[in-house]
Structure formats: structure tokens, C-alpha cells
């Protein structure tokens, strides 16, 4: 089959690789019909390279048609249309039963003290073959694969794999009071969808912060009050205060993560670690890794005393300096973590079935073939050609 593979820092290739096969009774094989390109994929493209191996198949946002099922899979049949969550969870362990599927005890990567395995990610998360390919082996398909109805195009349901549950959890964790105000830092796919969900769930005002004009304009068209963190950086906190009776927002969502703009010192450390031999760089990342925290620090400053900070942007640092005294004094609640996809899919699916409540049908800006993946990764990282959400159609 054809698949998108990692070949080195900023090097992506489309190769012919072996087709996946059933390995466990709970497996399924799907023919991938759509697969998203995620901002997290860009972490592998450049920052997390020490944990990658040449030939790793990328991608973790798939949907498709069931081609084959293992002997223990009774809830699926060949021909079913399914969406596959990006985290791999069993559905029956302590963590899954507690709604913490991202911490699944069956698929945890204990070698690196990490949570549930992920499709198409680094060896820190199991190095499971990814979904930017023509076919995908789905472990624990008896629980993970979500059946969706025929009819609407793939774009109606594809984002159940990652974008929608991640954004839904971000809003859930933010605990926005009724008629409250939330500020969303980062208006990429996750941040913008979080803004849409916050409005859908009753937020009185949603403030969106980004540095990319196209993204600011896109969010503005959806009723978000937008602030440019580059051209309005000096007034940003004052602007938010002026919109919230001088207190700050009831909640803030950090949808940026470790590749935030700014923080030049942290960027230098990240780049320097990436130039070390992999065995050395791995230890540096795991013992002294540091993130660019400019967006997170702004989010902390923007939220009111007693407010909530929801962190959905991916961070990997273990030595990040945080203003704990400020957080303590202002009694800010922080909730964060990898999305527990299967916890939220049943809540979200009804919003997609009869009509497009969240505007997902036209969410993607680009639909491309797998052969166009190398250029797509570069375009997405550079935010060129209006690239907001890219979907591969194998």
C-alpha cells in the first residue's frame, strides 16, 4: 500500500509499504477514505525528531470502511463506515472505565512512562503505524472504532477522530459559567473548534487570540471577538480586561502548546537538542526539555482570579518554569491533558447526524492525495496558501 512516512527532520516521503494484517482477535483493518493532517504531526516534523525512526508511518485522524475484522470483534462487520480515535484504548481497564481513555492501562507505553498508545506517533507513544495511508490496522477496534451513518461526506464525521473531542474536552475542562466569557489562545483547528463549541454551549463572549490574519478573520466570521497577539501584544491583557468588567475572562483555553511564537530562548534550546545524536537528545528532552510558554503565560494572565485555565495544546517539557506563586495567589484552577476521545464521541455524534451544528462540512481548506503529503506538511507548517485544515483522501 501507499503511505506517508517520516524520513528525517522536515523530510516526508510517500512510499510503498506492506499492507497491515490482523495481529490480535480485537483488531480490524480499514480502508482509509480520509485522514487529517494535525498540528501535532508538525511536532514530529521538526521538534520531536529524536523519538522518530526512519520509515515511521504518520497520521492519527482517520476514517474509512471496515475491510476485515478479528475473531473477537462482534460490534463491527465488513463494509461498516467508521471513525477511529487517535488514542488507542481498550474500553475495559480501570482508566477507560473512569473516562480516561488517554491513560488506558492496556496500551500505556510503560517503557517511557507515558499514557495510551497513539496512532502514527513517536516511540514515546508506542510507535504504532499511522493513518496517512491506504489501509490501517486498528487495535481494540471492538471498542475504539466508532460507527457512523452513510450519507454525508467524510468531512461530517472525520473530526470525531481528534479535533471535535479535543475541542469539546477543552471547553468541558474550562468550566465556563453560564453567560460567561472565555478567551481562546490559538485559532488553529482545535482552538477555532473550541471557540465554536463554547458559543454553542452558551458562552456569552468568546475572545480569540492568534497571530495569523487568515485565522483571525476566519474566527471573526463565526462571531468570535478577535485579538492579534502580534500587532496588539502590548494591549492584549488590557483589551481582555476591558471586555470583562476589568476582571479578566472566566476561563482561558490554551490551544497553542509547545510551538508557540516567541520564547526565543526556549526555541534555541529545542533546536539545539534536535541537533544532538538521538540517544543524547532523548535524554535531554526527557530530563531537561523546555517548552515555549509565551501563549500559556498570556493565558494565565488573561483569566480572572478564581478562574479556570484549560490546556489542550500539547506540551512536552519536564523543566518548564511556571509562576506558581501567581497561580496560587489568584486561585486559578488548571485542567489539562490528552483528549479522552471515546468519552466524548457519543455526546458529539448527534450534533453531526441530522444537520451540521458545528459547521464541519466546510472546515477543511485543502483536500489532497497522499502523493501531495511532502508539500502539504511544508505548506501547513508555513501556514501558506491559506492552509488551515488539510485532509488526505487516499
Kindly state the average pLDDT of the residues 67-89: 97
Cα(195)–Cα(191) distance, rounded to whole angstroms? 6
Same domain, 34 and 140: yes
Same domain, 176 and 235: yes
- Helix 163-174 / helix 341-348 crossing angle, nearest 10 deg: 90
DSSP state of 43: I
Same domain, 116 and 245: no
What is the predicted pLDDT for the residue at 278?
Answer: 53
What is the predicted pLDDT for the residue at 194?
Answer: 98
Per-residue pLDDT band at 279 (split at 50, 70, 90): very low
DSSP state of 15: E
Same domain, 7 and 102: yes
Cα(80)–Cα(33) distance, rounded to whole angstroms? 12
Give me the residues paired with residue 31 across strands: 65, 135
Q: Give the residue numbers spanning the domain of 73.
A: 2-161+340-392
Same domain, 169 and 144: no
Cα(66)–Cα(74) distance, rounded to whole angstroms? 13
Q: How far is CA 18 from the centre of its chain?
A: 28
Same domain, 132 and 19: yes
Same domain, 305 and 383: no
pLDDT in tens, 178-193: 999 999 999 999 999 9
Per-residue pLDDT band at 259 (split at 50, 70, 90): low
**Does 284 score more than 80 pLDDT?**
no
Per-residue pLDDT band at 48 (split at 50, 70, 90): confident
Compute the Cα dihedral for 56, 60, 61, 62 and give only its sign. positive
pLDDT in tens, 287-323: 445 556 788 899 999 999 999 999 998 886 666 778 8
Same domain, 243 and 307: yes
What is the predicted pLDDT for the residue at 285?
Answer: 44
What is the number of other CB atoms lying within 10 angstroms of the CB of residue 368? 16
Q: Say if residues 143 and 91 touch (Cβ distance below 8 Å).
A: yes
For the chain, give the mean pLDDT.
Answer: 91
Question: For 93-97, 184-188, 272-276, 360-364, which range has the lowest pLDDT when averaged over its residues?
Answer: 272-276
Same domain, 173 and 293: yes
Q: Give the CATH number, domain containing residue 318.
A: 3.40.50.720
Instruction: Please count the structural domains in the chain.
Output: 2
What is the predicted pLDDT for the residue at 320?
Answer: 72
Q: Considering the entire predicted model, what is its pTM?
A: 0.91
What is the predicted pLDDT for the residue at 273?
Answer: 44
Boundary residue ending a domain (336, 355, 374): 336
Same domain, 186 and 102: no
Strands (E), the chain: 2-8, 11-16, 28-37, 62-69, 81-83, 135-138, 146-147, 181-185, 205-210, 225-228, 249-254, 303-311, 333-336, 366-368, 390-392
Same domain, 154 and 193: no
What is the predicted pLDDT for the residue at 263?
Answer: 46
Cβ burial 212-248 (10 Å sphere, 16+ → b, else e): beebbebbeebebbbbebeeebeebeebbbebbeeeb
Same domain, 172 and 314: yes
Cα(42)–Cα(262) distance, rounded to whole angstroms? 17
Q: Give the CATH number, domain containing residue 14.
A: 3.90.180.10
**Does 262 score more than 80 pLDDT?**
no
Amino acid at each position: 500500500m501507499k503511505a506517508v512516512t517520516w524520513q528525517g527532520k522536515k523530510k516526508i516521503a510517500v512510499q510503498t509499504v506492506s499492507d497491515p494484517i490482523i495481529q490480535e482477535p480485537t483488531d480490524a483493518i480499514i480502508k482509509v477514505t480520509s485522514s487529517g493532517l494535525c498540528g501535532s504531526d508538525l511536532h514530529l516534523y521538526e521538534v520531536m525528531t529524536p523519538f522518530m525512526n526512519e520509515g515511521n508511518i504518520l497520521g492519527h485522524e482517520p476514517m474509512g470502511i471496515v475491510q476485515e475484522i478479528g475473531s473477537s470483534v462482534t460490534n463491527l462487520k465488513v463494509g461498516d463506515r467508521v471513525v477511529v480515535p487517535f488514542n488507542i484504548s481498550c474500553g475495559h481497564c480501570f482508566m477507560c472505565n473512569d473516562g480516561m481513555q488517554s491513560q488506558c492501562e492496556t496500551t500505556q507505553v510503560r517503557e517511557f512512562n507515558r499514557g495510551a498508545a497513539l496512532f502514527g506517533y513517536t516511540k514515546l507513544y508506542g510507535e504504532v503505524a499511522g493513518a496517512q495511508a491506504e489501509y490501517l490496522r486498528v487495535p481494540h477496534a471492538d471498542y475504539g472504532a466508532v460507527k457512523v451513518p452513510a450519507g454525508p461526506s467524510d468531512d461530517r464525521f472525520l473530526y470525531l477522530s481528534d479535533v471535535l473531542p479535543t475541542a469539546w474536552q477543552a471547553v468541558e475542562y474550562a468550566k465556563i459559567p453560564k453567560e460567561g466569557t472565555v478567551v481562546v489562545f490559538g485559532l488553529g483547528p482545535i482552538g477555532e473548534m473550541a471557540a465554536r463549541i463554547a458559543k454553542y454551549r452558551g458562552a456569552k463572549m468568546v475572545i480569540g487570540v492568534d497571530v495569523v490574519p487568515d485565522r483571525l478573520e476566519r474566527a471573526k466570521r463565526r462571531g468570535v471577538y478577535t485579538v492579534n497577539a502580534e500587532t496588539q501584544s502590548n494591549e492584549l491583557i488590557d483589551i481582555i480586561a476591558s471586555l470583562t468588567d476589568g476582571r479578566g475572562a472566566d476561563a482561558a483555553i490554551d490551544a497553542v502548546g509547545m510551538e508557540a511564537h516567541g520564547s526565543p530562548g526556549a526555541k534555541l534550546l529545542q533546536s539545539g537538542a534536535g541537533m544532538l545524536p538521538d540517544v543524547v537528545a532523548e535524554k535531554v528532552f526527557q530530563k531537561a526539555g523546555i517548552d515555549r510558554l509565551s501563549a500559556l503565560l498570556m493565558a494565565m494572565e488573561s483569566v480572572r482570579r478564581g478562574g479556570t485555565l484549560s490546556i489542550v495544546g500539547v506540551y512536552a517539557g519536564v523543566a518548564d518554569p511556571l509562576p506558581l506563586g501567581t497561580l496560587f495567589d489568584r486561585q486559578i484552577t488548571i485542567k489539562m491533558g490528552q483528549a479522552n476521545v471515546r468519552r466524548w464521541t457519543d455526546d458529539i455524534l448527534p450534533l453531526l447526524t441530522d444537520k451540521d451544528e458545528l459547521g464541519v462540512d466546510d472546515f477543511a481548506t485543502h483536500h489532497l492525495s497522499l502523493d501531495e503529503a511532502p508539500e502539504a506538511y511544508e505548506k501547513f507548517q508555513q501556514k501558506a496558501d491559506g492552509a488551515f485544515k488539510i485532509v488526505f483522501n487516499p
